[in-house]
Amino acid sequence: MRRFSLCILVCLSACAAPFGQNVVVLPTSDPTMAVAVSDAQKTLPLFFKYNLRADGSFVPGSALRVVVRQSVDGQTQSQVMWIAPLRKTGPGSFEGTLAEYPTQLTGLDIGSTVTFTQADIRDWSWTQADGTSYGGFTTRATLTRMPPAKAKQAAQWLRTPAVPQNWK
């Protein structure tokens, strides 16, 4: 699980480093991030077609990056986070496990179960047995903003093209 989680996070680093310390933060208003989210959402139907099973489960290695929200003292807090494993619970509804440490949400931890809707999805990733991943559009968008060594390490896990060629 640790290796799988590291492969799908925004920034990869040594396996011993905590997830929350290895994140490149870009606002959703950033033009590069906006294009990445748009590209991920345009290809989300293909991700569902090939990775979502009839019983609501997903094939191994599937992950979604979603807006996780919580209300604290009447105020809504949110953070975009990777969720894996995950399951579809109804039309447009999902639940899954936080695959990274929340840095902006209280009362949640890595491994916490969260619920979300399809409208909350910002990215998808499908990690292969060799540790490389398809998808990860938001991760790809952050590569130029990472320190060069971290960008090189992250890029080695991202398959090109981002969507499997046999997905139609």
**Domain range list for the chain:** 2-155
CB 68 within 8 A of CB 80: yes
Between residues 109 and 107, which one has the greater pLDDT? 109
pLDDT for residue 6 is more than 60? no
pLDDT band (50, 70, 90) for residue 133: very high
The token pair that represents 70 in the structure block:
């919580």
pLDDT band (50, 70, 90) for residue 19: very low
Looking at every residue in the chain, the average pLDDT score rounds to: 86
pLDDT for residue 7 is more than 60? no
pLDDT for residue 158 is more than 80? yes
Please tell me the predicted confidence (pLDDT) of residue 39: 98
Please confirm whether the linkage preceding 164 is cis (ω < 30° from 0).
no
Please tell me the predicted confidence (pLDDT) of residue 71: 85
Mean pLDDT for 91-115 is 95
CA atoms of 64 and 8, how far apart (whole Å): 9
The token pair that represents 116 in the structure block:
């979300």
Task: State the pTM of this model.
Answer: 0.84
Between residues 164 and 9, which one has the greater pLDDT? 164
Burial class (CB in 10 A: 0-12, 13-18, 19+), 31: exposed
Please tell me the predicted confidence (pLDDT) of residue 24: 64
